[in-house]
Homo-oligomer: A and B are copies of this chain.
Amino acid sequence: MAWRFALMIDPVAAQSPQADFTDTFTAVDPAAPALTVGELSTQRGDGIFESIGVVDGHAQEVTAHLDRLAHSAALCELPEPNLTQWRAAVLVAAAACGPGESVIKLILSRGVEHGPAPTAWVTAAEASDFSRARTEGVAVVTLDRGYPLDVPARAPWLLLGAKTLSYAVNMAALREARRRGADDAIFTTTDGFVLEAPTASLILRRGDTFVTPAPNAGILHGTTQLSLFEHLAARGFDVGYETVSASSLPQADAAWLVSSVRLAAPITAIDGASLAGDAALTASMNAYLLSPRD
């Protein structure tokens, strides 16, 4: 992966009305120091983020990502982000991306400890090559997320519907999956329901119906899943949200992990049990996801 660009954003300057936000941006060298040791993002994972796919310089589904950033900010009681300013920053970062696939990250940190304001920045980097995951697929294992299904709604301080920077558990789950010989994980609840992958949404196919676990306080609503459901509905498929039991997973006709940068990765096996694939359908999904989307 090669860095392409980084931009510090002044969220305070965005409070004053102005037509152009570019004077609130400062381009920085992504390989040079830009953050202080007092950053609460780094000390406590205290902040939120979004990862946006970029194809040939076009940032995908920017509005959906910005809306989720605002939703995460509200859950974490961060100051409301100025989405016009963030959109302007995404466009500047996208313009710095060359041809091919890139990833833009938006980060809104609570700021420096005892500091007056949040810290915010945008980065752009070359995307990893995910062509193998998109065509050959991924083997997954189910891992207990530790919660019963009803906890997130009644314990909002667990921040389970927010895309926070506190991703150590997500990263540990991916390491556990690899230790078990798999490529990725699907989180389940202690009472046997399916949630999501550590960095992706799950989509299941049953006949001509595509379902994903119902987004609730415990599941991030996936921007790529939303976009793909629109596409599948337009092609005449039924799509819907369900409470999915873990025991029903092997009955799926096919399944995918979908996310903003890796896009649609067909699941080849769940806990060692093979799952049928549909290479043509997967290819058409990824062709759609690689086309310019807004």
Contacts and interface: CB of A to CB of B under 8 A. Distances in A.
A148 interface: yes
Nearest to A30: B37
How many copies of this chain does the complex contain? 2
Contact of A166 (B39, B45, B154): B45
B45 A44 contact: yes
A292 interface: no
A143 B165 contact: no
Contacts of A162: 168
Contacts of A3: 38
Nearest to A164: B168
Interface residues of A, number: 60
A197 to B, nearest CB: 13
Given A157-B175, A173-B157, A35 B42 contact: yes
A202 interface: no
A253 interface: no
A5 to B, nearest CB: 10
Given A32-B36, A123-B37, A159-B172, A146 B144 contact: no
A173 to B, nearest CB: 5
A169 interface: yes
A94 interface: no
A195 to B, nearest CB: 13
A263 interface: no
A35 B39 contact: yes
A153 to B, nearest CB: 11
A152 B157 contact: no
A151 B42 contact: no
